[in-house]
Structure 1
Amino acid sequence: MTRTPTPTDARVPTPVTAPPGAWEELVRAALLGTDRRTPPGCAPGAHAPTALLDAAAAETVRRRAGLRPAPAGRRPEPAPEDRRPPLPAAAARRLTTLLTDRPGAAGGGRRGTAPDLMELLPQWLAAANAHGFAPPPETLPALLDAARGRTDLRPAALAFAGPRGLWLARLNPDWRFALRATPGGGTALPGPEAAEQVRRLWEEGLFAERVALLAALRSRDPAGARALLASTWPTERAEDRLMFLDSLRSGLEPADEPFLEAALSDRSRNVRATAAELLSALPDSALAARMAARAVTCVFLDRTLEPPAIAVEAPHECDPGMERDGVVARPPSGRGARSWWLGQLVEAAPLAAWTSRFGGRSAEEIVALPVTDDWQGDLHAAWCRAAVRQRDGTWARALLGAPTAPEAGGPGAVSLAERAKLLGTLGPDERAAWVAGFIATHGLSEAFQLLGMCTVPWAPPLGRAVVDALDIARDAGSYPWSFSGVMGLAERCLDPSEAGRLDGLLAIPDESEDAAPGAGGYWAEAFQRLVTTLRLRAAMAEELRAG
C-alpha cells in the first residue's frame, strides 16, 4: 500500500551530502549567506539554509570519522608540593573577594563610600608573602589572571603563587609571562654546583629567560654573573647588551669597573652611555676621576666678588675623550650645547671633589653660595642628579633644604621630580618627617609625588599632616576631587590605627557662601570611604595574623 504524501512531507528538503573536500566551500557559504552563495551539493532556494546545515553536519561526521587515532599525549607531571603553611580560612575568603570583586562607581561618576579592593590587593599580597603563606590552589587561576593584567602585581603575585603557580602557568599560554619572569622557564635557579646548567640556559634560553637568569645570578654571585655576561658579550645584539648591562645596577661594586670601562668603547652609543652612568656611580672609578678633573676646571670660587660667589665657565667643545666617557655631544631641542655638556660633567663627578674645590666647605655651605651669570639652575640640577646617582644623603639634604623654607623648591631642587628623587636617598623616618614639614608649610597641591616616596604605612607625623591638610582643604570649600590622588594614597598608605581619629570628619559640614556647591557632601563621602578602607585594611592584617 502506497502512503499518500502529506503537506508536511512536501516541506521537508531532501537530505544533502556535500561532495568530498567541500568543507571550505560550506564555510564560505555560511559566511556569505545562502542567498549570495549556493552551498555545494545544494539547490538554490528557500531550503538552501537547511540544506547547508545538513551538509555541514554530514561533512563534520565524515571528517571526524576519517581521523586516525593518535598516541595519547604525555600526561603532565604532578604539581609540586608547596611546603608553606596554608592561609587562614578568613584570609583565604578575603583573597577570593579581592580577586573577584570589582566595585563600580556610583552614579554621576562619584566613587561612593566602597573601598577600591583591587588597589588593596598589592598590599594584601605583600603582607601574605611576609607571613610566608601558600595560596589555596583554587585561587591560582584568578591570581595569575590578575597578574597578567597588572604588571605591578607580578613580582608579589608570582612569589605568592609559588611553585604550583609556575606549574599551572606552563599549561596555559596566557600565563607564559610567569615563566619568562623566572630563570629557566619556571624552574628554580640552578645551584652553585650546576654551572653547566646555568651556562646552557644562558646560551640557549629565550632572551627574557636570560635576563631573568642574569638578574637572579647577580643577586647571588655578582662575579659569576659578570663572567657569564662577558663570555658572550661580543656576540650579543646592541639592544640585548643594553638590557644585560642594566642588570649590573643591582649590587654595583668596584669589581665591575674593568668590564664597564671596556664597555665605554662599545659600538652602541646607548651602551656607552649606560656604562658611563654606572661608572660615575662608583666615586673611586677612573671615569669618575676623569669627570671630576674636567668639571672642576669649569666651576670655581670667584673670591674677587663680595661675598664670594661660584663662577662657571662651561666647556666650549665636546672632545672625543668626553664622548667616550659618556658625554652626549648633541643637546636636546631648546637646550644650549655648553650648558648641556656642563651638566653631564658635573653630574658624573664625585661630589667629594667639590669640598676640596671650595676650600673645605660643607655641602650645605656650597649649595648656599651664590652663582653668577644665571648658572645656578643648571649647576644645582646637576648636583641633584649626582646626589641621586651616588646615593649621597648629605648632599641630598643640602639640596632639599628645610621643608619649611618659603621657596617650595628648596635651595637646589629645580622641580618636584628632583625633590622626590632626592628624598629617595634618605632613610624612611627622615623622608616622612621632611614631607610632613613640607605639607604643613605648602599644603597638598605639590605633595602627591613626594608622598609616593614614603614607606607604607606612613609614619604618624606624616599621616597627621596629610589628614590635617585635607581637613583644611575641606573647610576652604574646595571640591574633594582636586585632592583625589592624595585621598587615594591615604586610603592605601595611612596607618589603619588612624581610622578612629577620622570619625569627626564624617559629618557633612555647613557650607559657607563661597564654598563650591555640594562640596560638603562630597567631602563626607570621601572621608567615609577613607575610614572604611582603613578599617578594612586593619581587618585584613588581623586575618593574616590569625594564622
Structure 2
Amino acid sequence: MTRTSSPADAPVPGGWEELVTAALLGTERRTPPGCAPGPGAPAALLDAAAVETVRRRAGVRPAPAADRLEPAPADPRPPLPAPAARRLAMLLANRPAASGRGAAPDLMELLPQWLAAAEARGFAAPAQALPALLDAARGRTDLRPAVLRFAGPRALWLARLNPDWRFALRAAGGTGALGRPGDPEQTRALWQEGLFAERVALLSSLRSRDPAAGRDLLASTWATERAEDRLMFLDSLRTGLGPEDEPFLEQALTDRSRNVRTTAAELLSALPGSALASRMAARAAACVAVDRTRDTPAIVVEAPHECDANMERDGVLPTPPTGRGARSWWFGQLVEAAPLDIWSARLGGRTPGEIVTLPVADDWHDDLHAAWCRAAVRQRDAEWARALLGAPTAPEAGGPGAVSLAERAKLLGTLSAGERAEWVAGFIATHGLSEAFQLLGVCAVPWAAPLGRAVVDALNIARDAGSYPWSFSGVMGLAERCLDPAEANRLDALLAMPEEPEDASPGAGGYWAESFQRLVTTLRLRAAMTEELR
C-alpha cells in the first residue's frame, strides 16, 4: 500500500526558524510554512516540527571524539563513616529556615561545626557529596575555606568542569588548583598571569608557609602593581608578620597611595622593635606625663599642635573625621602606634593596672584609654588588655564608658580561651545578656562550662521575668551553635510552658518554651553528630 504524503513530510521552506516564528505568533496569525490555514494548522505545525527535528538530528555530522578526561586525583584520607555520611547528606539537603521555624533545629547552621569536626578527624569527603558541598560553598562564602579543605583535591578537579564552581579554583590559588607547594616555576607563573583573586590567595597561602618567600614574590612586581592591588597585597603581610618585613614596609611608607602608606605604618607599629615604633614612642611620650604637684598624681596630656611631614610619612592621617578635633585625632594615632612597654618607665614605673587607674586631667581620659585599647589589640598585649578590661563585675564594664563593648570584644580576643570565657561569664552574671552578644562572639566553641551556665541562667531569668522574648533570639541562636552539648540535660526543666506574669509580652511563654525545645533538640543533635564521626 502506497502512503499518501502529507505537508509535514515535505521540506519546510525557511527551516526551523520559520516554525519557531509560527509557534510564537500562533497559527491564527502566522500559518506554518507548508501547512494549510484552518483548524488543522496547530497539529500540522507540531507534525512539521517533529519532522524537522528528526531531519536536523540526522544531518549532524560526526565530530572527532573529545580527549578523555584525566581521572580525578586520589584522596588518601580515610573514608567517612556511613552514619556521618548520611548526616552530611541531611545537612546539605536542608534549606535555611524562615523566621518562626518552630522547635526544629536549623541544620544549615550546624554545617560549619560538622565540617570542622570532620576535618579535625582527617576524613575524606564522599564523592557523591562533592557537588552539593560545592553548591553550598558557592552560596555561602563563609563556608568556602572549610568546604574546600574537607572536599580535598577531587573538588578542585570537579570545579574545572563547571563554571559555577570556579570560586574553588580562585580560593585555592596556587596551592592545589593551579600550582603545587614548592614548585617555584608554577608559583611565579600564577603570580604573573593569574587573576587578582588567585594572586591574593597565592600570596596569603605562601605567607602562611614561608613568609620570606611571600614577601620576595610581592617585592618582585611591587613597582608595577596598581595602587588598589598594592593595598590588598600589603594587607596579606599580616600573616607571618615579623622583623624581617621591616625594610620592605619602610619602603612602602613612601608609596604614592595614602592608603598603602597608612597600612604599612600600621603593620610597622605592630612590630615593637621597628624604627617606626621607636619614632612613634618618642612622639607619644612627649605628649603624656604624670603631674606630681597635685594631691593625687594624675596624667596630663599635651596633644601635638601640628601634623608635620614626618608624622604624615609615618602614617598619621592629618585630616580628622567630621566632629573630631584635629589635636585629639593626631594624639590618638601617636599613642595607638607607640609600643605599650614605654609607658611604665614614662609614668613612674607603674604597672598597666596601676596606670589605667590614674586620673587623666582636662577631659583627655577617653581619648587616651581608647588609644591604649587599639594599641593593646594591635600588639596583642594581654597584660594591657586585662588592665583596660577591668573586672567584669564593675559597673562601668556594662558601659557607657571610655572602653566600648566593641573595644572590649577586641581586647578579649588577646586573651586565652579560658580567660575570655571566665570574663564574659562574670559580665553576664552582673549585667545580663542584653549587652553581651558581641562579647559572646569572641568566645571559643564549645563554650566553657561557667560561660554556658551563665548564659542559660540569664535566659531563664529573662523568661521568668516575662521579658520580650524576641530580643534574645540572637543569643538563643548562638547558644544552639556554641553551648556544650553536655548541657542539654540541665535544660529539660525549662521545656515546660512558663506562667506568664501580667505584664509579660503576649505569647512570650510559648515562644520561650519553643526556643528552649529547639535549643535542647539542637544540642542533642550536635552530640549525635560528634559520636557519628568517631
Question: TM-score interval w.r.t. the shorter chain?
Answer: over 0.9
Matching residue within 427, 437, 442 for 2:416? 427
| Matched letter for residue 464 of structure 2 | D
Matching residue within 380, 400, 419 for 1:391? 380
What is the CA deviation profile of residues 171-215 of structure 1, one whole-angstrom value per residue up to 9, with x for unaligned ones? 1111111111113384375343x3222222222222222222211
Q: What are the within-5 Å matches in structure 2 for residues 530-541 of structure 1?
A: 530-541=519-530
Q: Which residue of 2 aligns with 1:85?
A: 78
Across the aligned residues of Structure 1 and Structure 2, the Cα RMSD in angstroms comes to 2.6
Q: Which residue of 2 aligns with 1:96?
A: 89
- The alignment status of 1:154 with 2:144, answered yes or no, reads yes
Matching residue within 433, 446, 471 for 1:482? 471
Separation (CA, whole Å) in 1 of partners of 2:218 and 2:85: 43
TM-aligned CA distance change 1:26 to 1:300, over 3 Å: farther
- The alignment status of 1:514 with 2:503, answered yes or no, reads yes
| Matched letter for residue 94 of structure 2 | D
| Matched letter for residue 232 of structure 1 | T
What is the CA deviation profile of residues 31-73 of structure 1, one whole-angstrom value per residue up to 9, with x for unaligned ones? 4555666666777766665565555555545554554332111
Q: Which residue of 2 aligns with 1:136?
A: 126
Does the CA contact (< 8 Å) of 1:16 and 1:42 recur in 2? no
- The alignment status of 1:251 with 2:245, answered yes or no, reads no
What is the CA deviation profile of residues 412-468 of structure 1, one whole-angstrom value per residue up to 9, with x for unaligned ones? 753211110000000000000000000000000000110010001100000110011
Q: Which residue of 2 aligns with 1:75?
A: 68
Does the CA contact (< 8 Å) of 2:175 and 2:181 recur in 1? no
| Matched letter for residue 408 of structure 1 | A
Does the CA contact (< 8 Å) of 1:367 and 1:380 recur in 2? yes
What is the CA deviation profile of residues 345-381 of structure 1, one whole-angstrom value per residue up to 9, with x for unaligned ones? 1111111122222121111111111122222112111
Q: Which residue of 2 aligns with 1:528?
A: 517
Does the CA contact (< 8 Å) of 2:353 and 2:387 recur in 1? yes
| Matched letter for residue 123 of structure 1 | Q
What is the CA deviation profile of residues 493-518 of structure 1, one whole-angstrom value per residue up to 9, with x for unaligned ones? 11111111111111112222222233
TM-aligned CA distance change 1:85 to 1:42, over 3 Å: same
Q: Secondary structure at the match of 2:289?
A: strand
Does the CA contact (< 8 Å) of 2:9 and 2:51 recur in 1? no
Separation (CA, whole Å) in 1 of partners of 2:414 and 2:399: 16
TM-aligned CA distance change 1:51 to 1:427, over 3 Å: same
Does the CA contact (< 8 Å) of 2:249 and 2:265 recur in 1? yes
TM-aligned CA distance change 1:2 to 1:468, over 3 Å: closer
Q: Which residue of 1 aligns with 2:315?
A: 326
Matching residue within 471, 476, 486 for 1:497? 486
Q: Which residue of 2 aligns with 1:269?
A: 258
Separation (CA, whole Å) in 2 of partners of 1:144 and 1:444: 37
| Matched letter for residue 291 of structure 2 | D
Q: What are the within-5 Å matches in structure 2 for residues 108-119 of structure 1?
A: 109-119=99-109
The alpha carbon displacement at 1:486 in A equals 0.6
Separation (CA, whole Å) in 2 of partners of 1:68 and 1:185: 42
| Matched letter for residue 227 of structure 1 | D
* TM-score, normalised via structure 2 length: 0.93
| Matched letter for residue 511 of structure 1 | E
What is the CA deviation profile of residues 138-170 of structure 1, one whole-angstrom value per residue up to 9, with x for unaligned ones? 111111111111111111111111111111111
Q: Secondary structure at the match of 1:477?
A: coil
Q: Which residue of 2 aligns with 1:448?
A: 437
- The alignment status of 1:171 with 2:161, answered yes or no, reads yes
Does the CA contact (< 8 Å) of 2:269 and 2:276 recur in 1? yes
Does the CA contact (< 8 Å) of 2:175 and 2:205 recur in 1? no
Q: Secondary structure at the match of 2:152?
A: helix
Q: Bigger CA drift: 35-44 or 238-247?
A: 35-44
- The alignment status of 1:341 with 2:330, answered yes or no, reads yes
Pairs aligned (count): 534
| Matched letter for residue 70 of structure 2 | E
Between the aligned residues of both structures, percent identity stands at 79
Separation (CA, whole Å) in 2 of partners of 1:530 and 1:345: 47
Separation (CA, whole Å) in 2 of partners of 1:173 and 1:185: 20
The alpha carbon displacement at 1:267 in A equals 1.4
Does the CA contact (< 8 Å) of 2:447 and 2:484 recur in 1? yes
What is the CA deviation profile of residues 508-542 of structure 1, one whole-angstrom value per residue up to 9, with x for unaligned ones? 12222222233222211111111111111111111
TM-aligned CA distance change 1:523 to 1:296, over 3 Å: same
- The alignment status of 1:236 with 2:230, answered yes or no, reads no
What is the CA deviation profile of residues 469-507 of structure 1, one whole-angstrom value per residue up to 9, with x for unaligned ones? 011101101132211111111111111111111111111
Does the CA contact (< 8 Å) of 1:15 and 1:51 recur in 2? no
Matching residue within 461, 470, 484 for 2:459? 470
Matching residue within 199, 202, 206 for 1:213? 202
The alpha carbon displacement at 1:337 in A equals 2.0
| Matched letter for residue 129 of structure 2 | T
Matching residue within 13, 31, 35 for 1:19? 13
- The alignment status of 1:402 with 2:396, answered yes or no, reads no
What is the CA deviation profile of residues 209-248 of structure 1, one whole-angstrom value per residue up to 9, with x for unaligned ones? 2222211111111111111111111111112211111111
Q: Secondary structure at the match of 1:311?
A: strand
Separation (CA, whole Å) in 1 of partners of 2:246 and 2:493: 58
